[in-house]
Amino acid sequence: MSGTPARDHYSYSVYADPSTAKNFDRRRFGGPIGQMVAESQAAAVARFASPVHDRTILDVGTGTGRAAIQLARAGARVTGVDPSEEMLAIARIQAADASLSIRFETGDAHRLQFADRAFEVVVCLRVLMHAADWQGCLAELCRVSSRAVIIDYPSSRSFAHLESIGRRLVHRFGARTEPYRVLSDAAVARALERAGFRIRSEHRQFVLPIAVHKAIGSARFSSRTRALSERLGLLPVFGSPVTIVAERW
C-alpha cells in the first residue's frame, strides 16, 4: 500500500482553494468544447461500467462529483472520495440538488481506507496525471476493486506531451499551475497487469490539443476533425485523453 505524499504537493494545494472548487466545473467543462468533452467521457464511463444499476462504485478523486452523480442517477450505489473538503462541499450540494444519495468522504488515492475488493467498480478520472505517485494510486484502485477499474490519462504520444513539458517548466519558475504528467500506454498496461488487471476497452478523445478545440470553440469543427482522425487511423495512435476500462483476471 502506498504512503500519502506531503500535502504541499500541488495536487492538494490547488484544489484546496475555495475559488478553484467554486469555478472548477465552469472552467473545465464550460463552453461547447468543454461540454463535448464531458459528455463524450460520461458516455464512455457509462458504457464501461455497464450494467450500472445497483452496482457498488467508488469514485476516487471525485472532485465536484460529476462522475459520481452520473452513476448514481443510473442507479449505482456510489461512494465518492477526494482529499479536498472544498471540492467535496460542492459535490454534496450538487448531489442534494439532484435528490441523490451519495456517500462523500475525505480520502486519498494513495492510501484508500477501504478493504480489498470492497467495490465492484472503481472510477478515477483526472487523477493519475496529477498524483505524486501514479503507480501507487493505480495499485490502490485495483486493490479495492473486485471487478473493474475505469481511469483516464493524457497520452505520451499526443500533443499533450508538449503542453506537459511547458507546464512543468513554468511551474519550476514559480507559476501557480498544474504541471501534469503524460503516461505511456505500455506503462499503464504494465502497472495494471502487476495488479491483476487487463485492459478491455478504451476511448480516445482528440488528436489535436484540446486547447486548439477550445480556441476555435466549434463543436461541429471538433466532431468533424475527430471523425477524420478516426478514418485516417490517427485517433487510435495519437488520441488523447485516453479513458480505459480494465478488468480483473
The pLDDT-based confidence of 1 (bands split at 50, 70, 90) is: very low
- Counting the structural domains of the chain, the total is 1
Does residue 154 sit within a domain? yes
Q: What does the alpha-carbon distance between residue 102 and residue 71 come to, in Å, rounded to a whole number?
A: 10
pLDDT in tens, 10-51: 788 888 888 888 999 888 888 999 999 999 999 999 999 999
Does residue 41 sit within a domain? yes
pLDDT in tens, 153-173: 999 999 887 776 676 777 677
- Burial letters 13-23, b for 16+ CB under 10 A, else e: eebeeeeebee
pLDDT in tens, 163-212: 766 767 776 776 666 778 899 999 999 999 999 999 999 999 999 888 88
66, three cell numbers: 460529476
> Range of 95's domain?
10-248
Chain centre to alpha carbon of residue 228: 26
Does residue 2 sit within a domain? no
Position 30, amino acid: G
Q: What CATH code is carried by the domain that includes residue 97? A: 3.40.50.150
Q: Rounded to whole angstroms, what are the CA distances from 85 to 22, 43, 93, 227, 229?
A: 12, 27, 12, 40, 40
Q: What does the alpha-carbon distance between residue 193 and residue 191 come to, in Å, rounded to a whole number?
A: 6
